[in-house]
Amino acid sequence: MIKKVYRKTIAIIALFSIEFLITGILFFASILLFGLIVKELFYDKQEQFDHFVYQWVHQFTSPALTTFMKIMSFLASREFIPVMFVLLLLYFLFIRKHHWYSLKVPVVVVGCLLLNLLLKFLFNRPRPLVEKLSEASGLSFPSGHSMTAFSFYGLLIYFIWKEVPQKVLRWIFTIILLFIIHLIGLSRVYLGVHYASDVLAGFAIGYIWLVLSILILKQIEKYYQKKVDPLKQF
C-alpha cells in the first residue's frame, strides 16, 4: 500500500515538473520570438518574411478556401468571442460554481483585448496594402484575432486539463483547439488583413498573457485560501 502511494506521488511530481518545464520553455521562447519580430520590423525594417509568406499562401486562393478561412477568422471575431466569453463565465458561476475559474475568464479575455489595443497603439503598424478578402479596420501589429485565439482557446485547453479526467479526451480536445488556433492565424494572412509577423507576434503575446494571468491568479487564490483557512499553512 505504501509503495503504491509512493509511486503515485512520484508520478504526480514528475508530471507537474514536466508541465512546468514545457510551460517555462514556451514562455521564454514566446518572449524571444516577440523580441526578434519587433527588432526585425521596427529596427531593421526587414519585411521579406511577410512578403514571402503572403505570396506562398495566395497560391492556394479559391472561393471554397476563402469561405473556409472566413469561418476560421470568425471563431476569434468580436461577434463570436463575447458570446463564448459570457457562456463560459455563466457556466463557471452557476453550473460548475467555481468562482476562481470564473475570475480567470474575464482577466484573460478582457486583459488580452486591452493589451492588444495598447500594443497596436504603441507600434502603430498599418494593415497590409494588398487586396483584402475580408473587411478589417484599425492597426495591424500584433494581430488581435491571433492574440485572442491563443488566450481564449488556450484558456479552454487549461480548463480541459484541469476538469476532464480522461487523458485521451484531454489530448483530443487539445489537438483540436490547437488546430483551430493556428487556422485562425493562417486565415488572417490568407484574407490579406494581417502580415505573418502580426500573427506570430499575436500568438507569442497571447501565450505570454495567458501564462502570466493564470500564474498570478493562482498565487492570489493560494493567498486568499490561507487567509480564510490559516490551518492550510501547516
Using the 8-state DSSP alphabet, how is residue 137 labeled?
-
Mean pLDDT check: name the lowest of 9-18, 21-30, 72-81, 105-114.
9-18
Average pLDDT (78-97) is: 87
- 234 pLDDT exceeds 70? no
Lowest mean pLDDT among 37-51, 60-74, 91-105: 91-105
* Chain segment 145-201, per-residue pLDDT in tens: 999 999 999 999 999 988 888 889 999 999 999 999 999 999 999 998 999 999 999
Q: What is the pLDDT of residue 164?
A: 87
Residue 217 has pLDDT above 90, yes or no: no
Supply the pLDDT for residue 8.
53
Mean pLDDT of the chain: 85
Give dist(CA 192, CA 170) in Å, integer: 34
At a CB cut-off of 8 Å and minimum separation 6, what does 225 contact? 232
Task: Give the pLDDT of residue 24.
Answer: 79
pLDDT over 50 (residue 123): yes
| Every domain of the chain and the residues it spans | 50-233
List Cβ neighbours of 162 (8 Å cut-off, separation of 6 or more): none
Check residue 228 and give its pLDDT.
Answer: 58
pLDDT band at 232 (very low <50, low <70, confident <90, very high): very low
* Residue 46 backbone dihedrals phi, psi, to 5 degrees: -100, 125
Amino acid letter for position 80:
F
Residue 218 clears pLDDT 80, i.e. is over it: yes
> At residue 233, does pLDDT exceed 60?
no
**Is a pLDDT exceeding 90 seen at residue 22?**
no
Give pTM, 2 decimals. Answer: 0.84
Give the pLDDT score at 231: 40
CA distance 185 to 20: 26
Counting Cβ atoms within 10 Å, is residue 145 exposed (0-12), middle (13-18) or buried (19+)? buried
| pLDDT recorded at residue 80 | 94
Residues 146, 210 contacting (CB under 8 angstroms): no
